[in-house]
Structure 1
């Protein structure tokens, strides 16, 4: 169940944190993965790790494709490059994102523009570009990584919350447009997930964060990877336009 053998996947922001966990989860289920990010050295290092830990699928090695999502030209080239390199695209995981946190009264225009460009506009461009090959194949899985703050808001993150909420609405609209072609579009909304960045927080701050979570602890990258692997599978073909919240009960959203 949930096997992805014979599928080609593109994961953005794949060189660390949640993105690498997603890539590993898809590869473990048999997908061939194109790893994308802006840092070529990190991508190559992670690709070597992926090949060592998981190995290659039967249809070829995993690959890396460098792309700066703040550059619209590079964004527009990413899907064609993936199709050319892998021979097709069955799964698109829009995971990459940036933060430029500030209180609204202090937020600069470029802090707003940068977050909207990478976290919302780039995802729109990648979804639009992936639609053509997926419609031709009459199969596709698009999974957008949003955030609990897209539903709850968060002080100091008006730009980030707006982008994530926008992705949710965009995903629902896209899902309705392409459902008849065998393509699904869904979101996975993480809560607090343990990463190298959160590991550096003071213990008191970690305790305060964990106290807000009924599960009593932060999630792991594997928790997000498992949710994405399910939504990418053939078995999830009747699930579309949905947001799967993975937050340990921190926000129980309908």
Structure 2
């Protein structure tokens, strides 16, 4: 999903974030880019963070070309100094910070047998996925005012294990736990903290799979398809908005029903296709 998302329909472009400033980490591609566009289409001025300065500036430029307010603040979310610099740039250029989306994540590093995991892959997973959420949240909360919102991007892997992805799942489990704890800590300041946990979603890596592999990813999903960035972006926009003003400390699964089922379809065909 490296291409810019399509413009929002009139029904979505409601201006819920007019006058608000949002920072989306990992916002230059895939889910993060879809989230950034959704918030901007609803009126937010958006700061895009990403590890590649060229890619991040190109994403911000594409948004500006469509008349949106966007700025790039590239950097590694696991580095405290780079995080502080990104927050400062957002505030200095866009005038404040009201919404933080902690989307940046390391891919499923070190997939394979638990006994063969490289400690470096484990450490990098936690450095980006968990430490990054911590650093960005603390830095953002220091400059946010009451009524602000933070949305962390978790994964269904936090509660339903992927095979051969222990480091990734463990780091996303940390995101879920941190979401609840941060929500309690920041509630007295009027800052809400929630999370969205996507299931299988189309991204650059998914696009490289052949059709049979793509279909295999969709087969266990009760709704019969994988999600895309707009599915996640819609959930983020809701949780970040005043429509969710009494919701904090929650993790919303956006997974087509994947986590609701005990057994996937195909295990018992008589139940999958009951006859009258």
Q: TM-score w.r.t. structure 1 length?
A: 0.92
Determine which of 218, 226, 229 is the counterpart of 1:218.
226
Matched, 1:18 2:27: no
Matches for 1:16-165 after TM superposition, within 5 Å? 16-53=29-66, 55-56=67-68, 61-99=69-107, 100-102=109-111, 103-134=113-144, 137-165=145-173
Residue 71 (structure 1) shift: 2.9
What is residue 20 of structure 2 aligned with on the other side?
7
Q: Deviations over 1:115-137 (max 9, x none)?
A: 10111011101111111222xx2
Residue 164 (structure 1) shift: 0.5
Cα separation, 1, equivalents of 2:51 and 2:27: 10
Determine which of 210, 231, 236 is the counterpart of 1:228.
236
Give 3-state SS (helix, strand or coil) of 2:143's partner. Answer: helix
Residue 51 (structure 1) shift: 2.2
Count of residue correspondences: 246
CA contact (8 A) 1:2 1:235 kept: no
CA contact (8 A) 1:82 1:88 kept: yes
More helix by share: 1
CA contact (8 A) 1:2 1:233 kept: no
Q: Say which is worse superposed, 97-106 or 237-246, in terms of deviation.
A: 97-106
Cα separation, 1, equivalents of 2:197 and 2:15: 20
Give 3-state SS (helix, strand or coil) of 2:224's partner. Answer: coil
Moved over 6 A (4+): none
Alignment RMSD, CA only?
1.5
CA contact (8 A) 1:2 1:229 kept: no
CA contact (8 A) 2:110 2:122 kept: no
Determine which of 193, 216, 219 is the counterpart of 2:201.
193
Q: Deviations over 1:97-126 (max 9, x none)?
A: 012132211111111111101110111011
Q: Larger C-alpha radius of gyration, 1 or 2? A: 2
Unpaired segments ≥5 residues, structure 1: none
What is residue 190 of structure 2 aligned with on the other side?
182
CA contact (8 A) 2:31 2:232 kept: yes
Cα separation, 1, equivalents of 2:221 and 2:163: 18
The 1:10/1:179 distance shift into structure 2, 3 A limit, reads: same
